[in-house]
Amino acid sequence: MKTEGNAVIRARQVGKSVVGPEGELKILDAVELSVNAGESVAIVGASGSGKTTLLGLLAGLDLPTRGEITLAGARLDRLDEEARATLRAEQVGFVFQSFHLLPALTAEENVALPLELNGGVDAARVDEVLALVGLTARRRHYPRQLSGGEQQRVALARAFVTRPRILFADEPTGNLDQSTGRQISDLLFQLNREHGTTLVLVTHDLALARRCDHVYRLDGGRLREEAAA
């Protein structure tokens, strides 16, 4: 249930435009969103509707052209790049649509990296998250030696190894078969239930979207909440 003032993510009148060969392209227009701590939110919409762009803005990876975003109590536009990076490292996990694994690092090295950047690798924690995503036997494999679904699971393990308060995931089941997709969804909601991790998921997977507390649709640059099914 919505309680005012408990928002861990707040977007007000957020717009994003880019300048392309055809002139200005308005990707997002006056987006309003409020996500409370511990909630799960799905963002759906057609390909090219701006879902990845919005997720990047909410996570502080990029800045909007208009409007303001508050993430974990901080106004993102008032932070410089370094402060935003620190906020992300401490509070946020992000699963990219294209994984963004480092090709020269093994699965376990990719997973350990955020801990290293935060000042200390906890080997037991790395073992634990690799087991959670079912990749213990693949831990010494490099990304190119893994299937798309396995790379996606490495990316997910890397995103939650630091126990972030907020987990953003861009089509986290997009490259998985139904059964593996279900396992990954179960894992996301287990984090949500047991650790109160706030989930913001971009997805085409209706089964995954329906498990979320709120479903929003992006259309024509605007975000609207879908009526409950």
Ligand X SMILES: Nc1ncnc2c1ncn2[C@@H]1O[C@H](COP(=O)(O)OP(=O)(O)O)[C@@H](O)[C@H]1O
Footprint on this chain of ligand X (rule: CB under 6 A)? 18, 20, 25, 27, 45, 47-53
Task: Work out whether strand 40-44 and strand 23-36 pair parallel, antiparallel, or are unpaired.
Answer: unpaired
Contact pattern for Mg ion over residues 64 through 103, marking x by CB under 5 A: ----------------------------------------
From the list 51, 64, 3, 20, the residue with the least C-alpha distance to 201 is: 51
Q: Which range in 46-54, 76-84, 133-141, 187-195 contacts Mg ion by CB under 5 A? A: 46-54
The nearer residue to ligand X, 96 or 160, going by C-beta atoms, is: 96
For residue 3, the partner it binds in Mg ion, ligand X, none, with Cβ less than 5 to 8 A by kind, is none
Q: CA quadruple 80, 86, 87, 88: dihedral positive or negative?
A: positive
The nearer residue to ligand X, 25 or 117, going by C-beta atoms, is: 25
Helices (H) and strands (E) in the chain, counts: 7, 10
| Residue 52 binds Mg ion, judged by CB under 5 A | yes
What is the spatial distance between Cα 226 and Cα 217, in angstroms, rounded to a whole number? Answer: 7
What is the spatial distance between Cα 111 and Cα 17, in angstroms, rounded to a whole number? Answer: 34
Site for Mg ion, rule CB under 5 A: 51-52
